[in-house]
Amino acid sequence: MQLLILIGAIGLALIALLLIARRRSLSGLENGFLLTLALTLAGTGSLSAVLVGAWVQEKAEQALLQGSMDDLDADARLVEASAKRDITITMNQMSQIAVGIATHLLRRELKEIASTGPFSTCR
């Protein structure tokens, strides 16, 4: 925002300098031509410095944004790889637990079936 105000102020100053030079307001002074020339060079230099500064600031913002995007992309890939590894480990552990539970339940159910089956009362 401040940069836009500065560019506007320098642009307004250059317009004022252009009006002064076109009207030859400084020609009545002893060194009017040199003063007009100095003001014109100073105004042109200031405006070019502001424009180059604005361009450099824009490019720096783009570079910082691109660097942040690259860092976030690398972080996302790292988290994704870690999550995949953790999910695989958890799935393996849960499969082993499920096998253990299934074998335990299977034995208990067989005992229950044998004790409550249709032939258990015949004995």
* pTM (global) more than 0.85: no
Rounded to whole angstroms, what are the CA distances from 64 to 14, 55, 67, 72, 73?
33, 14, 5, 12, 14
* Domain boundaries defined on the chain: 2-116
pLDDT tens digit at each of 123 positions of the chain: 667 787 788 778 778 877 877 777 777 778 877 887 887 788 788 778 878 888 898 899 999 999 999 999 999 999 998 888 889 999 999 988 888 777 776 666 667 766 775 655 554
Q: What pLDDT score does 67 carry?
A: 92
Q: C-alpha angle 87/91/92, rounded to 5°?
A: 120
38, 44 contact by CB (below 8 A): no
DSSP structure class, residue 117 = S
Separation between Cα atoms, residue 116 and residue 121, nearest integer Å = 8
